[in-house]
Amino acid sequence: GAGVSQTPSNKVTEKGKYVELRCDPISGHTALYWYRQSLGQGPEFLIYFQGTGAADDSGLPNDRFFAVRPEGSVSTLKIQRTERGDSAVYLCASSPLSQNEQFFGPGTRLTVL
Amino acid sequence: AQRVTQPEKLLSVFKGAPVELKCNYSYSGSPELFWYVQYSRQRLQLLLRHISRESIKGFTADLNKGETSFHLKKPFAQEEDSAMYYCALHSGNTPLVFGKGTRLSVIA
């Protein structure tokens, strides 16, 4: 079956622009996670959805970052007024139950010029 | 605060040699520990978790609460083991906390 997919695979944008990153979880997985991975670092938690609601958004660095999952499946991570420091690989993961094994997508590499 | 420490950024071993990837954590409760692996050009995937106590691809890891460690071991390294390895911790309703990772390079 299909795994977690993320689009686009690469995104280059200019400082100050708005970007949206999409995640398609494995069908039937209720939990969805977003992580950010900077060069030389492990994945850092951003936000976690259980169904449609954000169960934990404590990892979002500031109010420029926002994520939605309106129908409990696809999720979009939105970044406003991008900054060069936002450049990273953004990973999405899903799991069938909260905090069980997480299945990761391939990531979106965001570059802010 | 929860923290996972992987002291080695890079570990190089010869094929057939034993491997130990170190992981230490800080957490006062009863955590669940994981090892995730990322092979070249592949996505991050779960290798093993301490509660399952199983050996995956010849790798094992034992949770040592006294030393707050969860080192990953394999008696005989293979070239296909070359990858990035991340130790991660979870407890209760907290999200996964990852270490910075160790790149394992197995030399033929």
Q: Which residues contact B65 (CB under 8 A, 6 or more apart)?
A: none
pLDDT at B37: 97
* SS3 labels along B13-82: EECCCCEEECCEEECCCCCEEEEEEECCCCCCEEEEEHHHCCCECCEEECCECCCCECCEEECCCCHHHC
Per-residue pLDDT tens digits for A64-77: 999 999 999 999 99
pLDDT at A98: 59
- Identify the closest residue of chain A to B89 by CA–CA distance: A99
Is B9 near chain A, with CB under 8 Å?
A: yes
Instruction: Say whether B98 and A43 touch across the interface (CB within 8 A).
Output: yes
Is B97 near chain A, with CB under 8 Å?
A: yes
Residues B22-38 have a mean pLDDT of: 91
pLDDT at B78: 97
Per-residue pLDDT tens digits for A17-50: 999 999 999 998 999 999 999 998 999 999 999 9
Instruction: Say whether A40 and B100 touch across the interface (CB within 8 A).
Output: yes
Instruction: Say whether A56 and B88 touch across the interface (CB within 8 A).
Output: no
Is A96 near chain B, with CB under 8 Å?
A: no
pLDDT at A1: 59
**Contact, B27 vs B37, CB < 8 A?**
no
For residue A17 the two structure tokens come to 């622009």
Please give, rounded to a whole number of angstroms, the shortest distance from the CA of B87 to a CA of chain A.
9
